[in-house]
Amino acid sequence: MTTMKAMVYYGENDIRFEERPIPQIINPDDAVIRVTKTTICGTDLGIWKGKNPEIQEHAKTLTGQFNGRILGHEGIGIVEEVGSAVKKFKKGNRVIISCISHCGICENCQKQLYSHCQNGGGWIMGYMIDGAHAEYVRTPFADTSLYLLPEGLNEDVAVFLSDVLPTSHEIGVRYGNVKPGDSIAIIGTGPIGMGCVLTSQFYSPSVIIAVDTDDHRLALAKELGATHTINSAQEDAIQRILDITEGRGVDCAIEAVGAEPTWNICQNVVKEGGHLANVGVHGKSVNFEINKLWIKNLTITTGLVNANTTDMLLKTCCSGKLPMEKLASHHFKFAEFEKAYDVFKHAADQKAMKVIIDLDQ
């Protein structure tokens, strides 16, 4: 067998489920993984909608033409083949595929800034190289970019360890400097926002306010630990947050959508000395009211996940103390990949949180 099925992006609003060559080892530190489960990220939808034209430009720079990009950067699978330099993994190992590939030796990797690996790593899978929405995927820097999948770990949860869980924890909660007793507001309760609801509780905030326009998602946020929920389509979220915090605002506001309305809520509800942690992927500029914020001694952070807490999160998930499986709202067979994309694209109507594609079924 030399070909496989894959979801391939060709340009704005143009993705196709088609035959592609099975990836091969290119570099000695590569591994080829047979994918058994994957999921769709909001970033994949953004690419589909034309949010990342640099994908085509990068390919044209390298080869003079763009022949499509297999999407996807989350998943688990079984090692099919390893390069000669791979030491930690062998054929047959069950692994979690990290969304971040990193060499582990460059200046940025030495700082644990893995998302900005200087040797061709970072977020490249499903972006600058072919990704995991396929039967097989090539993973560069295998020894530092794969994790052994423990026996007994819920496999849906294992998929979330690729991206959504470390992104929520690192760029939302840790960059937001959430501390015991803090008040926090999480604006947007999609998969990333819900991951922030869960992982923020590691640090014992006293108030967790979840804001969304979807009552179904808000109900799940409440079930998973939010102390207050606000439907911003039905009430003034800024005023409600100020009311809840007796006019002070929150210690940490987490922007988990990537849009001006959610950014605007955040910049209006952070108290003096607080943190605004932007996790959402923005495709357009926003109005940054520096004229009002310069005086407030704020810390404003942005970031791409480094996956430097994945090991810790993996152990926590194995302990059963992080009910991430509740986010797996829909399951599809591999042949239903196009349907899965359509459902996730209309997540609010379909009451979808994370869709899981099972390749072994």
Compute the average pLDDT of residues 289-298. Answer: 97
pLDDT value of position 243: 98
Spatial separation of the C-alpha atoms in residues 205 and 220, rounded to whole Å: 18
pLDDT value of position 183: 98
Who has greater pLDDT, 35 or 284?
Answer: 35
pLDDT value of position 61: 73
Compute the average pLDDT of residues 90-105. Answer: 98
Compute the average pLDDT of residues 34-55. Answer: 93
Predicted confidence band of residue 167 (pLDDT cuts 50, 70, 90): very high
- Are the beta carbons of 189 and 168 closer than 8 angstroms? no
pLDDT value of position 39: 98
Q: How many residues does the chain have?
A: 361
- Are the beta carbons of 175 and 275 closer than 8 angstroms? yes
pLDDT value of position 358: 97
Spatial separation of the C-alpha atoms in residues 127 and 118, rounded to whole Å: 16
Query: Would you list the domain boundaries of the chain?
Result: 3-163+307-358, 165-301
Compute the average pLDDT of residues 95-105. Answer: 98
pLDDT value of position 341: 95
Predicted confidence band of residue 212 (pLDDT cuts 50, 70, 90): very high
Which residue do the tokens 């190289």 mark? 129
SS3 state of residue 37: strand
146 has a pLDDT exceeding 90: yes
Expressed in percent and rounded to 5, the helix, strand and coil fractions of the chain are 35, 25, 40
Compute the average pLDDT of residues 271-282. Answer: 97
Question: Beta strands of 173-294 (E only): which ranges?
Answer: 183-187, 207-212, 228-231, 250-255, 270-278
List the one residue out of 115, 110, 102, 105 whose CA is nearest residue 141: 102
Name the CATH code of domain 3-163+307-358 (choices 3.40.190.10, 3.30.930.10, 3.90.180.10, 3.40.50.300): 3.90.180.10
Spatial separation of the C-alpha atoms in residues 295 and 131, rounded to whole Å: 44
State the CB neighbour count (10 A cutoff) for residue 128: 18
63 has a pLDDT exceeding 80: no
pLDDT value of position 1: 82
What is the architecture, at CATH level 2, of domain 165-301? 3-Layer(aba) Sandwich (3.40)
Spatial separation of the C-alpha atoms in residues 196 and 174, rounded to whole Å: 10
pLDDT value of position 320: 87
The pLDDT mean for the chain works out to 96
pLDDT value of position 32: 98
Predicted confidence band of residue 56 (pLDDT cuts 50, 70, 90): confident
Predicted confidence band of residue 91 (pLDDT cuts 50, 70, 90): very high
Predicted confidence band of residue 283 (pLDDT cuts 50, 70, 90): confident
Spatial separation of the C-alpha atoms in residues 314 and 310, rounded to whole Å: 6
Q: How many alpha carbons fall within 13 Å on the CB side of residue 318?
A: 11
Residues 67-86: tens digit of each pLDDT: 999 999 999 999 999 999 99
**Order of strands across the sheet with 299-301?**
228-231, 207-212, 183-187, 250-255, 270-278, 299-301
pLDDT value of position 161: 98
